[in-house]
Chains A and B, each alone.
Chain A
Amino acid sequence: MAFGPHLLLAVLEGLVTAAVLSLTALGLSLVFGVMRIVNVAHGEFFMLGAVLAWAVANALGGHPALGFVAALVIAPLIVGAVAWLAERLVLSRLGYNPESTIVATIGLLYIIQQLALTFYGPEARPVAPPFNVRLSLPWFGYSAYKLSIIATAALLLIATWLVLTRTKIGLTMRATQYDSETAQAFGIPVGRVYAGVFALGAMLAALAAVLIVPISQAHYLMGQDPLLLSFIVVIIGGLGSLRGTVVAAVLIGVSDGVVSMFFSPTLAKMIATLAVALVLVFRPQGLFGTTAR
């Protein structure tokens, strides 16, 4: 393959990464934006989504599309319920103190990881994609499913944006984010909003995982990279900003795709992580300006 098509392939792969990453990072960003806490277990919600997708598809059998669609609905719901429970039982009792919640979510990370290892096992298992169509481009064939990931993620992002800006739920969330005490005084059930946001954040990660699991298998340690990359995206995009998150996800996803196609993936990850740590040190408000209050 010549350089041009090679680059195109790298960009396409990067866009698939970016699509999944923007959903995952948006979940992390919402939780941070509204609740002011860092959820270290976010990557494990992603992993749980993928593992449950395998379990659902496996239990149903039949046509792959049936299992996949069922997984797309059931896995996020279960993950959301787990997150809701964790929020009610643990985080709410900590008063959302930043350091205690970090320690508690680290604990949650280990618990989910170990349960996945115990009940799902150490193997990596694939889920069959809902359809197997290859689009033949002039230079190489490309999986139509991967392109549909990008489209689905875009739709989900738009849906989230509409919910946040156009509905009563979104208004309640933004009011809580802006000033939780005043919101409480105006009769908004802040505790329930927090639980809902935490569950929603986890569900976005689970959705992203269900989308990606047909092309990269489900494994109990798969949550680590999305967590780190989501941190990177959220920091570069500016905490709590939806637009910034998407822009940063595309930036990171595509550059990761390109760099790891032409250089070593380890080197790519090293450089990206170092760059972001330095951004955080020298420009804590992120590259796209929205300051975290």
Chain B
Amino acid sequence: MSGGDKPAKVYALHLAVLAVLFTLNFVLPAYYHGLMARIMVLAVFAMGYNVLFGYAGLLSLGHAMFFAAGMYGTGLTIVHFGFSVPLAFVGGIACGAVLAFVIGLLALRTSGVAFMIVTMMFAQVFALSLIYFAGWTGGDQGLVIPQPARILNLGAAAFDLTDPTVRYMTALALFAAALFATLALVRSRHGRVLVAIRENEERTKMLGYDTFANKLAAVTVSGTISAAAGAAFALLFGYVGANFAGVQYSILPLLWVLLGGAATTLGPLLGTLVMYVVTDTASSFTSAWLLIVGVVLILLVLFFPKGILGTLRARWLGWLP
């Protein structure tokens, strides 16, 4: 935002990114086609994380619980209650939104390091309860959502979400929705207040803004977007598992956002994409992908704390949102 407001350029860039993603559907070979659909869904998760971490400056180590809430909210209602696809999707998002609101009410009483530890602990409790109620959730094994339950009926038309093209397009649609939602959010008044809170909370408070309410809204929006990613993941890939609620899935969105550039709208996609390409390339000669994650994290905080797009914005592209 430092380089002045250039809405035409901004919208053109975002539309161009979506156009490239749309074209890739027809170009990519089967393996990368599936991978790209996955990357887009996970990028939505990272975008949700970015709202809280990048813009509001709150580092949560428990976002896996919102992703998993969306995932299980969708998966369990389909498997146990036979919900239809749209209903289960909305149900999953609602689960994440309610959870995020409640967690936000509690965790936002703390700040800084305590906020990270509290979010991590709530996520741990969530993950443990998934294992404890194994009769419902399938525990460690998780649940597979059968193919017939993953058909989206819209009036006369039926879309089979297991079909690669339908899956890719659904992921793209979700990604586009999340992208424009965050773009609208960060350009809104609320988004600017969040940045103000990140930069100096005391001063923002003194200027008369209710910082708690703004932060609570940020946690809820962030959790809701993450839950939407989780719900879509369950529907598109047909699997619901407790490992998605683990600490690792709280740290991965942090890594993606840091890599792509915190507080940039396109950073989460770029970070997720680059990280997947790196681990995918590396996996052909080593299975030590955790090592790569660790090294990348350390190198990022040491040398590129702003991430790829953040560095670009600081150097040349001041208008990047």
Contacts and interface: CB of A to CB of B under 8 A. Distances in A.
Interface of A: 38, 90, 93-94, 98-100, 102-104, 106-111, 113-115, 117-118, 224, 228, 231, 235, 264, 266-267, 269-270, 273-274, 276-278, 280-282, 284
A277 B118 contact: yes
Contacts of A90: 298, 302
A1 to B, nearest CB: 27
B27 interface: no
Contact of B110 (A104, A224, A228, A280): A280
B121 A104 contact: no
Q: How would you classify the secondary structure of chain B's contact residues: helix, strand, loop or mixed? A: helix
Given A107-B301, A266-B131, A277-B118, A38 B110 contact: no
Contact of A99 (B59, B106, B128, B251): B59
Given A102-B59, A276-B121, A38 B298 contact: no
A86 to B, nearest CB: 9
B263 interface: no
Nearest to A267: B132
B109 A281 contact: yes
A38 B112 CA distance: 11
Contacts of A269: 128
Contacts of B121: 228, 231, 273-274, 276-277, 280
A144 B305 CA distance: 52
B302 A94 contact: yes
Interface stretch (B35-43, B208-216, B288-296): B288-296
B288 A266 contact: no
Contacts of B295: 107, 111
A99 B288 CA distance: 26
Nearest to A111: B294
Contacts of B293: 107, 110
B116 interface: yes
B132 A264 contact: yes
A100 to B, nearest CB: 5
Nearest to A102: B116
B162 interface: no
18 contacts: A38-B117, A98-B112, A98-B113, A104-B297, A104-B302, A107-B296, A107-B297, A107-B298, A110-B290, A110-B297, A111-B294, A114-B290, A228-B121, A235-B117, A266-B131, A273-B121, A273-B125, A281-B107
Interface string B113-149: 1101110011011001101100000000000000000
A231 B297 CA distance: 22
A114 B297 contact: no
B305 A114 contact: no
A225 B118 CA distance: 16
Given A100-B301, A280-B117, 17 more contacts: A90-B302, A93-B302, A98-B112, A99-B59, A102-B61, A106-B294, A106-B297, A108-B298, A110-B290, A110-B291, A111-B294, A118-B291, A266-B131, A267-B132, A270-B129, A273-B125, A277-B118
B123 to A, nearest CB: 10
B258 interface: yes
B148 to A, nearest CB: 33
